[in-house]
Homo-oligomer: A and B are copies of this chain.
């Protein structure tokens, strides 16, 4: 492979769609972004992307070769190339996104969800280089996961393996957006820690600045800032979040036996206030043969471009 080859990485979000031209070393040679316009059909987005990516390509030397297009999108099914019932896009039950891109490009095109893209990005350009068994957990509005085992991302028989956000913490627990009860992401995510704070405010009497905020006002960032100042409710919320996450990560280790677990995304930015107790709880609940052998790490990919790098890695991984 020569250094004049790039892959188009595209990250489709509910608000913004980011894209970039990424070489085999993970260098973002050029980048851009457009509003997703979630109410418009997918065709429109693809047409607009085609135009913008074409302009971006011209910013590079004329001999740069496109090797493929990797796309990260919510509810993406890698096996079928489709996006199914995306929560924040008005695209309907199923859109064959790969086919829409094939109208414009005669290149390898692949699609996956954002957590799988993060795992591939970590494997090719981040802290998981050289690892054959690891897990990436994305902690944002929800909890996503990408599992790599034997050097390959797991898609499973249905094309959607690695949905740790919907494992069961408490069968009679919090109602999840997915329709089930007690899913991990209702406890461990930006939204989950807010719910935990409200539960603690209801159960305990500690004075806390968090008592001044409505449910709509509260964010995980506010909780993090309160924890940094030693607020007991915020600290208890992080501890409870870490314990739940630690237990479920110990379970995940008992499935695929990873050498490392990477945390990525908004809530992971809380750093040690989450990472240190999570590692401790995970160790406590690990089956003995795994103890001391699983690293818990923050993703080493830059937050701003990780999604585009991960999407591009989908193609570089296949080459």
Which of the candidate stretches A86-94, A158-166, A211-219 sits at the interface with the other chain?
A158-166
Q: How far is the CA of A159 from the CA of B290 in the complex (A)?
A: 10
Q: B161 and A156: CB pair below 8 A? A: no
Q: B287 and A180: CB pair below 8 A? A: yes
Q: B254 and A157: CB pair below 8 A? A: no
Q: B154 and A257: CB pair below 8 A? A: yes
Which of A133, A162, A254, A285 gathers most chain B CB within 10 Å?
A254
A241 to chain B minimum Cβ distance, whole angstroms, is 15
Residue from B84, B162, B183, B287 in contact with A255 in the complex, judged by beta carbons closer than 8 Å: B162
A residues 195-231 near B (Cβ < 8 Å) are none
A residues 226-283 near B (Cβ < 8 Å) are 247, 250-252, 254-259
Residue A56 is within 8 A (CB to CB) of chain B in the complex:
no
Given A252-B255, A288-B179, does the pair A156, B167 have CB atoms closer than 8 Å? no
Task: Specify which chain B residues have a CB less than 8 angstroms from the CB of A183 in the assembled complex.
Answer: 287
Residue A171 is within 8 A (CB to CB) of chain B in the complex:
yes
Size range of the interface on A?
Answer: 35 or more
Q: How far is the CA of A160 from the CA of B259 in the complex (A)?
A: 11
Task: Specify which chain B residues have a CB less than 8 angstroms from the CB of A288 in the assembled complex.
Answer: 178-179
Residue A152 is within 8 A (CB to CB) of chain B in the complex:
yes
Residue A83 is within 8 A (CB to CB) of chain B in the complex:
no
Q: How far is the CA of A161 from the CA of B152 in the complex (A)?
A: 15
Residue A155 is within 8 A (CB to CB) of chain B in the complex:
yes
Task: Specify which chain B residues have a CB less than 8 angstroms from the CB of A179 in the assembled complex.
Answer: 288
Residue A21 is within 8 A (CB to CB) of chain B in the complex:
no
Given A155-B257, A257-B161, does the pair A168, B133 have CB atoms closer than 8 Å? no
Task: Specify which chain B residues have a CB less than 8 angstroms from the CB of A180 in the assembled complex.
Answer: 285, 287
Q: B251 and A168: CB pair below 8 A? A: yes
Task: Specify which chain B residues have a CB less than 8 angstroms from the CB of A164 in the assembled complex.
Answer: 254-255
Residue from B147, B251, B258, B287 in contact with A256 in the complex, judged by beta carbons closer than 8 Å: B147
A153 to chain B minimum Cβ distance, whole angstroms, is 9
Q: B247 and A168: CB pair below 8 A? A: yes
Q: How far is the CA of A256 from the CA of B254 in the complex (A)?
A: 12
Task: Specify which chain B residues have a CB less than 8 angstroms from the CB of A147 in the assembled complex.
Answer: 255-256
Which chain B residue has the least Cβ–Cβ distance from A155? B257
Task: Specify which chain B residues have a CB less than 8 angstroms from the CB of A285 in the assembled complex.
Answer: 168, 171, 180
Q: A256 and B154: CB pair below 8 A? A: yes
Given A163-B287, A288-B179, does the pair A158, B293 have CB atoms closer than 8 Å? yes
Residue A304 is within 8 A (CB to CB) of chain B in the complex:
no
A158 to chain B minimum Cβ distance, whole angstroms, is 5
Residue A289 is within 8 A (CB to CB) of chain B in the complex:
yes
20 A-B pairs (CB sep. < 8 Å): A149-B149, A149-B154, A150-B150, A154-B257, A156-B258, A157-B257, A158-B257, A158-B259, A158-B293, A160-B257, A161-B255, A164-B255, A166-B254, A167-B251, A168-B247, A168-B251, A178-B288, A179-B288, A180-B285, A255-B255
